[in-house]
């Protein structure tokens, strides 16, 4: 039997909470419920917003009452089982050059690794996109290797450039817009994660990401093409299954 | 030349807003939209537009702008203001009109909105709407994400906001009577979603407390100063999604009500959520207002939402035709300005 709580967030949203941790098993449940409800196209559901540990369902209460929505969710939960999710697999180029990676030396020092080892440890794993938030297109990707897990900066920076790749605790993010940030910046991605012209996000919750190190020269070529609007990046494959 | 409103002075923060963009929060895109959607609907009704058409949202101090179109119809709904309609940028005096009405203006005229009274928000709609490209189905401006509206930002001097229509429809002007756009001091809220993070006593203190809307409030959140609310076990939670109206309590214990431009997700416990029917009134509340919260059930909140929905549908029924100025009255108005009052009154009476 699945363990979850349904909490009201006012009269137009419900939170379906699976736990209070960042955990791939919880994330699989959240994302599979999200994808299942979206596929059902239930009249009165406005949108679903998956996060690390819960799903928010925004609804129109004059069309769909909270009690009938909860009944639909309970019924869906019975069928959820182990949970299966569908996502896309991406290979994202990242330039770890110190000109972009302003905290790389500091991260190396704090973790007692060489900068080369930090890059290897970071670009090694396949990351799971838990959720998007904070800025349009900003994906929270985990897990960063345990030996790279650091608390946030004591004093956040007032500004980091768009495309900055940064880490904090077990999470990695590429920040799609220039923004204040308290994370450790260790690289830059030339692929825009948010296209302001088409208002489109590259990544979606449940996607999988590998960071592929590129040289400064390759970065510049890709960034130029991106700025001309001719950089096309396609997912390398589709991913179906539980989040491992 | 493209018909436009040309901004001479932008006011404190003037943005284009409609009812916002929903459906993209899973991608981190905030909903945005008018802080006071009831007033937005009223402005659009007066301008003859569908209720969710994008209009200018004015905060506290309004813009001054020139009409770069043959003629156009404007409407004003929301807080009070003494709006001056001037013959040109250097003209003095001019006609002063109040809000909650439509008005036809012509090329070269300058509209000076000035300071708002009895509310923080005013909507200026234009017949036919502004000619701006929607982003994700909405023309709402989200300044933090730099999307929507006019170049994703508040208006600045020199902006020429293009209009869809080059001329106004030939028809009478209207005002709206008896639409309640008051700024109440008590707001209804449903407990949760993270009321578990607070003890029974703290929840009682929250609902018994009176708060002041503090400076630093913006379209993302209304910061409250007053009764400090303590958490049961720390103020950091693993991020979850945010609903508009949710009242989060950060480490300082001073609550923040999340408004239209709030981030889609966040990491502070939310003690309660202002009901959807009370959000428009909350949105028009100026800094310095005193507020408190009353707990209600979801069922009560839905009943209130139904009432608000009826109020919005009833806006059209509250429109009253403004008396068209007769030729004699127009002469009278002009001579009034010259203190030639008595003789003209007689002439009008004898006409």
pLDDT digits (tens, 9 = 90+) for B303-320: 999 999 999 999 999 999
Q: What is the ipTM of this complex?
A: 0.93
Q: Which residue of B has its CA nearest to A137?
A: B27
Confidence of residue B103 (pLDDT cuts 50, 70, 90): very high
Q: What is the pLDDT of residue A199?
A: 76
B134 and B236 in a single domain? The answer is no
A15–chain B Cβ distance below 8 A for any pair: yes
Give the CATH fold of the A87-241 domain: Cyclophilin (2.40.100)
Task: Return d(Cα B251, Cα B235) in angstroms, integer.
Answer: 5
CA distance B123 to chain A (A): 25
Q: Which among B152, B190, B265 has the least Cβ separation from residue A8? A: B190
Confidence of residue B325 (pLDDT cuts 50, 70, 90): low
* B175-187 tens-digit pLDDT: 999 999 999 999 9
Task: Return d(Cα B259, Cα B282) in angstroms, integer.
Answer: 9
Q: Is the pLDDT of residue B331 over 60?
A: no
Q: What is the pLDDT of residue A83?
A: 65
Closest by CA position to B278, among listed A12, A16, A64, A45: A12
B150 and B219 in a single domain? The answer is no
A208–chain B Cβ distance below 8 A for any pair: no
Confidence of residue B113 (pLDDT cuts 50, 70, 90): very high
Q: Which residue has the tokens 């509206």?
A: B149
B39 and B123 in a single domain? The answer is yes
Give domain status of residue B320, yes or no.
Answer: no
Task: Return d(Cα A87, Cα A28) in angstroms, integer.
Answer: 11
B271–chain A Cβ distance below 8 A for any pair: no
Task: Return d(Cα A32, Cα B129) in angstroms, integer.
Answer: 41
* B252-301 tens-digit pLDDT: 999 999 999 999 998 899 999 999 999 999 999 999 999 999 999 999 99
B249 and B165 in a single domain? The answer is no
B172 and B190 in a single domain? The answer is no
Q: Which residue has the tokens 């994400």?
A: B145
B230 and B165 in a single domain? The answer is no
The total number of structural domains in chain B stands at 2
A163–chain B Cβ distance below 8 A for any pair: no
C-alpha gyration radius of chain A = 19
B170 and B194 in a single domain? The answer is no
**What global pTM score does this model have?**
0.91
Contacts of A177 in chain B (CB under 8 A): 145-146
Q: Which residue of A has its CA nearest to B301?
A: A11
Q: Is the pLDDT of residue B341 over 50?
A: no
What is the domain class of A5-83 according to CATH? alpha beta
Residues of chain B by 3-state class (helix, strand, coil), percent to 5: 20, 30, 50
Q: Which residue of A has its CA nearest to B26?
A: A49
CA distance A14 to chain B (A): 8
Q: What is the pLDDT of residue B330?
A: 54
Q: What is the mean pLDDT of residues A199-209?
A: 93
Residues 6+ apart with CB under 8 A from A97: A187, A215, A216, A219
Q: Is the pLDDT of residue B190 over 50?
A: yes
Give domain status of residue B336, yes or no.
Answer: no
Task: Return d(Cα B341, Cα B343) in angstroms, integer.
Answer: 6
Give domain status of residue B203, yes or no.
Answer: yes
Q: Rounded to 5 degrees, what are φ and ψ at B277?
A: -65, -25
Task: Give the Cα-Cα-Cα angle B120, B126, B130 (nearest 5 degrees).
Answer: 100
Task: Return d(Cα A147, Cα B347) in angstroms, integer.
Answer: 92
Q: Give the A:B interface size as CB pairs under 8 Å.
A: 143
Q: Is the pLDDT of residue B344 over 50?
A: no
A6–chain B Cβ distance below 8 A for any pair: no
Confidence of residue B337 (pLDDT cuts 50, 70, 90): very low
CA distance B32 to chain A (A): 13
B69 and B139 in a single domain? The answer is yes
B283 and B210 in a single domain? The answer is yes
Q: Which among A7, A58, A135 has the least Cβ separation from residue B22? A: A58
Q: Is the pLDDT of residue B84 over 60?
A: yes
Q: Is the pLDDT of residue A57 over 90?
A: yes
A145–chain B Cβ distance below 8 A for any pair: no
B207 and B230 in a single domain? The answer is yes
Q: What is the pLDDT of residue A197?
A: 75
B13 and B59 in a single domain? The answer is yes
Task: Return d(Cα B101, Cα B116) in angstroms, integer.
Answer: 15
Give domain status of residue B126, yes or no.
Answer: yes
Q: Is the pLDDT of residue A196 over 90?
A: no
Domain of residue B272, CATH code: 2.40.100.10
B164 and B194 in a single domain? The answer is no
Whether the Cβ atoms of residue B183 and residue B119 lie closer than 8 Å to each other:
yes
Give domain status of residue B30, yes or no.
Answer: yes
Contacts of B194 in chain A (CB under 8 A): 7
Q: Is the pLDDT of residue B54 over 70?
A: yes
Give domain status of residue B345, yes or no.
Answer: no
Q: Which among B22, B146, B238 has the least Cβ separation from residue A52? A: B238
Task: Return d(Cα B108, Cα B71) in angstroms, integer.
Answer: 9
Range of the domain at B167: 4-176
CB atoms within 10 A of CB B2: 11
Give domain status of residue B77, yes or no.
Answer: yes
Q: Which among A10, A58, A133 has the least Cβ separation from residue B263? A: A133
Helices (H), strands (E): how many in chain A? Answer: 5, 16
Give domain status of residue B18, yes or no.
Answer: yes
CA distance B17 to chain A (A): 17
Which sequence spans correspond to the domains of chain A? 5-83, 87-241
Whether the Cβ atoms of residue A222 and residue A215 lie closer than 8 Å to each other:
no
Q: What is the pLDDT of residue B342?
A: 42
Residues of chain A by 3-state class (helix, strand, coil), percent to 5: 25, 30, 40
Q: What is the mean pLDDT of residues A66-74?
A: 96
Q: What is the pLDDT of residue B324?
A: 66
Contacts for A58-64: CB closer than 8 Å, 24+ residues apart: A58/A12, A58/A13, A58/B22, A58/B25, A58/B243, A59/A12, A59/A13, A59/A14, A60/A12, A61/A11, A61/A12, A61/B298, A61/B301, A61/B302, A61/B305, A62/B302, A62/B305, A62/B306, A62/B309
């Amino acid at each position: 039997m699945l363990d979850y709580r349904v909490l009201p967030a006012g009269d137009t949203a419900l939170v379906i909470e699976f736990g209070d941790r960042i955990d791939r098993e919880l994330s699989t449940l959240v994302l599979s419920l999200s994808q299942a409800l979206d596929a059902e196209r239930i009249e009165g559901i406005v949108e679903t917003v998956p996060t690390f540990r819960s799903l928010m369902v925004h609804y129109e209460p004059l069309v769909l009452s909270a009690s009938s929505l909860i009944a639909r969710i309970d019924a869906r939960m019975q069928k959820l089982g182990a949970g299966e999710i569908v996502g896309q697999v991406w290979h994202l180029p990242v330039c770890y050059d110190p000109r972009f990676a302003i905290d790389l030396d500091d991260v190396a020092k704090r973790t007692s690794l060489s900068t080369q080892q930090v890059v290897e440890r970071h670009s090694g794993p396949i990351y799971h996109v838990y959720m998007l938030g904070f800025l349009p297109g900003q994906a929270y990707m985990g897990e960063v290797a345990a030996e790279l897990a650091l608390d946030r900066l004591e004093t956040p920076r007032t500004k980091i450039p768009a495309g900055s790749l940064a880490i904090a605790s077990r999470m990695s993010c590429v920040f799609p817009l220039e923004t204040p940030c308290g994370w450790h910046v260790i690289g830059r991605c030339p692929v825009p994660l948010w296209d302001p012209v088409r208002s489109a996000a590259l990544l979606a919750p449940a996607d999988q990401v590998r960071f592929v190190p590129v040289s400064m020269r390759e970065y510049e070529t890709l960034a130029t093409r991106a700025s001309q609007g001719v950089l096309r990046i396609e997912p390398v494959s589709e991913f179906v299954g539980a989040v491992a | 030349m493209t018909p436009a409103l040309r901004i001479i002075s932008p006011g404190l923060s003037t943005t284009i807003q409609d009812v916002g963009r929903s459906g993209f929060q899973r991608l981190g895109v905030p909903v945005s939209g008018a802080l006071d959607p009831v007033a937005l609907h009223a402005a659009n009704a007066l301008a003859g537009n569908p209720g969710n058409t994008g209009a200018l949202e004015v905060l506290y101090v309004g813009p001054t702008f020139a009409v770069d179109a043959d003629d156009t119809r404007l409407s004003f709904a929301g807080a009070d203001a003494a709006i001056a309609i001037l013959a040109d940028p250097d003209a003095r005096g001019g006609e002063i009109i109040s809000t909650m009405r439509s008005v036809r203006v012509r090329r070269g005229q300058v509209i000076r909105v000035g300071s708002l009274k009895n509310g923080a928000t005013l909507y200026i709609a234009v017949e036919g709407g502004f000619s701006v490209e929607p982003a994700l189905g909405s023309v709402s401006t989200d300044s933090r994400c730099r999307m929507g509206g006019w170049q994703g930002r508040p208006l600045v001097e020199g902006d020429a906001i293009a209009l869809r229509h080059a001329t106004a429809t030939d028809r009478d002007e209207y005002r709206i009577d008896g639409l309640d756009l008051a700024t109440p001091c008590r707001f209804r809220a449903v407990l949760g979603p993270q009321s578990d993070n607070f003890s029974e006593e703290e929840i009682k203190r929250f609902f018994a407390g009176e708060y002041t809307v503090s400076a630093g409030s913006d379209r993302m959140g209304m910061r409250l100063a007053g009764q400090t609310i303590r958490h049961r076990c720390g103020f950091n939670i693993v991020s979850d999604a945010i609903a508009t109206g949710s009242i989060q309590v950060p480490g300082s214990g001073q609550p923040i009500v999340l408004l239209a431009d709030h981030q889609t997700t966040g990491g502070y416990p939310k003690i309660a959520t202002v009901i959807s029917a009370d959000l428009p009134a909350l949105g028009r509340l100026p800094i310095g207002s005193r507020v408190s919260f009353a707990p209600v059930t979801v069922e009560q909140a839905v009943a209130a939402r139904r009432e608000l929905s009826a109020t919005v549908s009833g806006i059209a029924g509250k429109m009253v035709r403004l008396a068209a100025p007769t030729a004699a009255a127009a002469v009278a108005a002009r001579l009034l300005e010259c203190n030639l009052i008595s003789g003209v009154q007689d002439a009008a009476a004898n006409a």
